[in-house]
A = this chain, B = another copy of it.
Amino acid sequence: MDIKETMQAIGRRARAASRRLATASTAEKNAALQAIADAIRREKAALLTANAADVAAARAAGLEPAMLDRLTLTEKGVDNMAEGVEQVAKLPDPIGEMGEFKFRPSGIQVGKMRVPLGVIGIIYEARPNVTADAAALCLKSGNAAILRGGSEAIRCNQAIAALVKEGLEVAGLPGDCVQVIETTDRAAVGELITMREFVDVIVPRGGKGLIARLLAESRVPMIQHLDGNCHVYLDEDADPNKALKIVENAKTQRYGTCNTAESLLVDRSVAAMLLPPIAHMLTAKGVEIRGCAETCAIVPNAVPASEDDYYAEFLAPIISVKVVSGIDEAIAHINQYSSKHTEAIVTDNHPKAMRFLREVDSASVMVNASTRFADGFEYGLGAEIGISTDKIHARGPVGLEGLTSQKWVVLGDGHVRG
Contacts and interface: CB of A to CB of B under 8 A. Distances in A.
Contact of A408 (B221, B241, B395, B405): B395
> What is the count of identical protomers in the complex?
2
Nearest to A414: B242
Interface string A349-364: 0000000011101111
A391 B417 contact: no
A108 B378 contact: yes
B108 A410 contact: no
A414 B108 contact: no
A378 B106 contact: yes
B415 A373 contact: yes
**Dominant SS among interface residues on chain A:** mixed
Contacts of A239: 414
A335 B344 CA distance: 46
A327 interface: no
Nearest to A95: B358
A62 interface: no
A283 interface: no
Interface in A87-132: 96, 98, 102, 104, 106, 108, 110, 113, 115, 117-118
B395 A406 contact: yes
A340 to B, nearest CB: 9
Given A365-B408, A374-B410, A396-B407, 7 more contacts: A23-B358, A117-B392, A221-B221, A361-B407, A365-B409, A372-B417, A395-B408
